[in-house]
Each structure stands twice: as structure tokens, then as C-alpha cells.
A = this chain, B = another copy of it.
Amino acid sequence: MRELTYDEAAVEAVAEEMRRDPKIFYLSTDPIPPLLREFGPERIRATPIAESAMTGMGIGAAGCGFRPIVDWRQVTFCFVAMDQIVNQAAKIHYMFGGQARFPLLFRATVCGGGRVAAQHSQSPYSMFMNVAGLKMFLASTPYDIKGLIKTAIRDNNPVISFESSRLLRLKGPVPEEDYTIPLGLADIKREGSDVTVVALAWLVHEALAAAEELAKEGISVEVIDPRSLVPLDAGTIRDSVKKTGRLVIADEAGPTAGFSAEVAAVATEDGATFARLKAPVKRVCALPVPIPYSPVLENHVFPDRKRILAGIREVLREGPAQAA
């Protein structure tokens, strides 16, 4: 199968949907060149640096029958539009009693690793997860991002595509044929029986590397990529933990009230899952600090395969494991 980068796969998803549906148009402060070339400046619009207006205009046009894509670019730029996201996009369908639909795709680059410091590096998806009325996902492969973006564009609600800055150049197989991936469906990226690692984005790849290494020692790691954050596929996560009895969560965001906390809660509030859990849950996350610039510092802040390995070893050591 042909290979595309994560970034190319995302743009291809947009382009294919735009060819199919003339109601789709695109707003961002700097247009993406191939989209601009193909669709022209009427459908690929360069906006002033006014993300609040841009986001609200997307909502308004959606309510009038269009299907806008609003690209915030770095997720940190969308905080200026937070009212439009949280008070408007998320609530408007509900508070008007469902009388109009607001099909909207928001795109935002998250994660760190670029040495661009605190105002350009953040993984704040859990801030949005707590807001009722928004769907969102964070893909880890070119295949997944294409399928998820297509689903999101066809969805009749605001959906946020968080996209990992570390993966933009990652290549992977992407079929030529049209396909979609439903929201709310986790992907088991590797099957295993001793421990479950729930990981997001770049850390899916780091978890797979860790799993590879542990396989040499006879330890079998299951790697689950939820892909979709809201809705979250609690069933797949719980089934895996019921099987392995151990849970490590790897996330490039800070732990506090993060995605990782939600997964910990999802696992430990379910009776059947809790009953099989043999060791404490382990969160392998960024340190709770703004992201620093200097490579030495930035590298120290983020989790990686080594910390995932250490986390896995910790949950294997702890609890009534040996007894089981």
C-alpha cells in the first residue's frame, strides 16, 4: 500500500471531503498550500489573526447549512477563542433544544518536542473533554487520522481533531479507497496478556517499542490506542484490563485531571474491572510544568519509552501479581 505522512493523510482527508461536498470550506490564519491551490481562496480562506471571530464564524456558517473546517493550528492559539468553543460551539445545539445542527471540524496541533517553549507546546485535550457537547480525537497514525477526519467532517456536531506535532512527518500505509473510522472505537495496536498500556499519539509508538523490548523478556504487553477521546471506548479499555489485571496510561499531557486520570477512573469505577485489577494504576505523563525551551529540560519533562518501561515494570512488581 502507498505511504503518506500523518500530515499528508490529514490534508488528503480534507481534500477528498471537499471534493465531495461543496458546503465544506476552510478557515485558518495561514492557508495550507495544496488546499489553496486546488480549492481557491473562496473555499480556503485566510483569516486575520482573530481566532475568536474565526471560530464563531464557523459556528454561524454551520448553523446556516455549511460545514466549516476551522484550523486553529497550534492548540495554544485557540485559547483566545475559548468562549466560542466552550460557551458557544459546545452548548448551542443543546441550549437551543436541538433545533439546528452545527457540523464543524476544528483542527489543532498538540504535544511538544519542538523546543518551542510553553506558549507553543501544550496537550490540553482534557480541558475540552470536561466540556459536555464536544467530540474529539487524537490519532497516532496516518491511517487513523485520515479515517477519523473524514468521519468528523461528516458528523453533524463540532468535533476537534487534535494532531500530534511529533507525528506530522511520520509515514504509514494509507489505502487509496474511501474509508472512515468511527469515533468512540479504540484500536488495540498490539495484543498482550500481562499488562495493558493505554497510550495516545506519539506515546503509542513509544509504548509499542517498550512492548517489543519486554517481549524479549517474555512479558506480554497489550497496547491500546483509544484514538477517540470523546466518546471514549471504555469497553475496550476495561476488557483489556480485565484480561491483564494491570494498567499503565501513557500521555504526553500533564497528569492532573488529565486524560490519564479519566482512564484511571474508567477502569477503577467499574466493578468487574476493579475486581481483576492486581496492581495500582500507573500514570506515565509529562511533569506538571509549563513546557520549557532548552532540550535538556524539555526532554526531561516528557514521558518516553523508558518511562513507560519503568511504569510497566512497576505495575508488574506491585500487587498480588506473583500470586495470580
Contacts and interface: CB of A to CB of B under 8 A. Distances in A.
Interface of A: 52, 76, 79-80, 82-83, 85-87, 90-91, 94-95, 117-119, 122, 124, 126-127, 129-133, 230, 232, 253-262, 264-265, 267-271, 273-275, 279-283, 288-290, 292-293, 318-319
B256 A130 contact: yes
A265 B288 contact: no
Nearest to A128: B127
B264 A255 contact: no
A290 to B, nearest CB: 4
Nearest to A286: B132
A257 B257 contact: yes
Contacts of A289: 94, 132-133
B261 A265 contact: yes
A230 to B, nearest CB: 7
A257 B130 contact: yes
- Of A80, A119, A262, A268, the most chain B CB neighbours within 10 A belong to A268
A241 to B, nearest CB: 12
Given A79-B85, A82-B82, A274-B279, 8 more contacts: A80-B82, A80-B83, A124-B131, A129-B256, A130-B256, A260-B265, A268-B268, A271-B280
A268 B129 CA distance: 21
Contacts of A279: 271, 274
B86 A254 contact: no
Nearest to A249: B265
- Of A80, A95, A261, the most chain B CB neighbours within 10 A belong to A261
Contacts of A86: 76, 79, 122, 124
Nearest to A264: B265
A293 B95 CA distance: 8
Task: For the complex of A and B, list the 4 residue pairs with the smallest distance between their C-beta atoms, beginning with the closest.
Answer: A82-B82, A264-B265, A274-B280, A126-B257
B87 A288 contact: no
A142 to B, nearest CB: 27
Contacts of A265: 255, 260-261, 264-265, 281, 283
Contact of A292 (B94, B257, B260, B274): B94
B95 A119 contact: yes
A294 B293 CA distance: 49
Contacts of A79: 82-83, 85-87
A33 to B, nearest CB: 27
A52 B81 CA distance: 11
A271 B273 CA distance: 17
A269 B255 CA distance: 12
A127 B87 CA distance: 14
A126 B127 CA distance: 7
Given A127-B131, A270-B280, A280-B270, A119 B292 contact: no
A95 B132 CA distance: 32
